[in-house]
Amino acid sequence: MLKETVMTIIESPHNATFKKLLSLTTAKGLKKEGLFLLSGTKLIREFLAAPSLDIFYEVHEDGQKPLEVDAPSLQLTPPLFAHVDVLGTHAPLLVVKQPSLPRLDSFEGYIPHGIEVVVPVGDPANLGAVIRSAEAFGVPRIILTREAAHPFLPKAVKASAGSVLRVRMIQGPALDAVPESCMALDMEGEDINSFDWPSDGLLLLGEEGSGLDARRFKTRVRIPIQGVESLNVAVAAGIALSRVPRRPTVPQSPLR
């Protein structure tokens, strides 16, 4: 439902609201403000078709047509808008409230439902791509370790193609707290094509943190490759998740 839009013109980099917008391009700012930037014409159009989160601002550059949303409108000078539009979309942005992510302080007593993934990926673009694959292959829940990039950084949101708005994620403990019972994707594990997947379990994807030895995990699976030393983490994650048996239903957990 539309209403008369209140527009604020921002011309100074010292403006408090501009500083808040700029902070949303960093993990520190995202954690402090609890908001994130949604950018890209297609992503915004899909979100506005069925908005599931509160919109705090619409942000556009001087000369652009504002989006017709029920939220205050911020007009920035071209130089200021370029600083906020870190993906270079050259199109209006939305400032949206982050969904609340449950927190898991310890894996002790934690019971996964289906094959859930533990993700320590520090590069936001790779993280977004992994989250997109997780949604595509029906992963019931994603556990982000402390080493993982913030899932609502602009590059992560873009690479996920909006999956970060729909998948079930948990903020988990550090990578060294991942239990030995976790299945690890590793170059020296059992061939994933013949691996017998359990009904429930944790699968560790992606980058290893300092001091983590994949050999400490009781179960390791590998993707057979030839001619190259390794695969990009997002590519490897997509291949691995495509091998996980799909289940029609997933029981709900108190965490989400």
pLDDT tens digits for 12-54? 999 999 999 999 999 999 999 999 999 999 999 999 999 999 9
Q: Which helix (H) or strand (E) holds 144?
A: strand 142-144
Contact 87, 40 (CB under 8 A): yes
What number does CATH give the domain 7-97? Answer: 3.30.1330.30
Other C-beta atoms lying within 10 Å of the C-beta of residue 125: 17
| Predicted model pTM | 0.90
What CATH architecture does domain 115-243 belong to? 3-Layer(aba) Sandwich (3.40)
64 pLDDT tier (thresholds 50, 70, 90): very high
CATH 3.30.1330.30 positions along the chain are 7-97
Query: Measured on CA atoms in the order 75, 80, 83, 86, is the torsion positive or negative?
Result: positive
CATH 3.40.1280.10 positions along the chain are 115-243
* Dist. CA 187–CA 220, nearest whole Å: 8
* Dist. CA 142–CA 130, nearest whole Å: 10
pLDDT tens digits for 82-130? 999 999 999 999 999 999 999 999 999 999 999 999 999 999 999 999 9
Of the candidates 42, 90, 29, 45, the one whose C-alpha atom is nearest the C-alpha of residue 64 is: 90
Phi-psi region of 194 (alpha: psi -120 to 50; beta: other; left: phi over 0): alpha
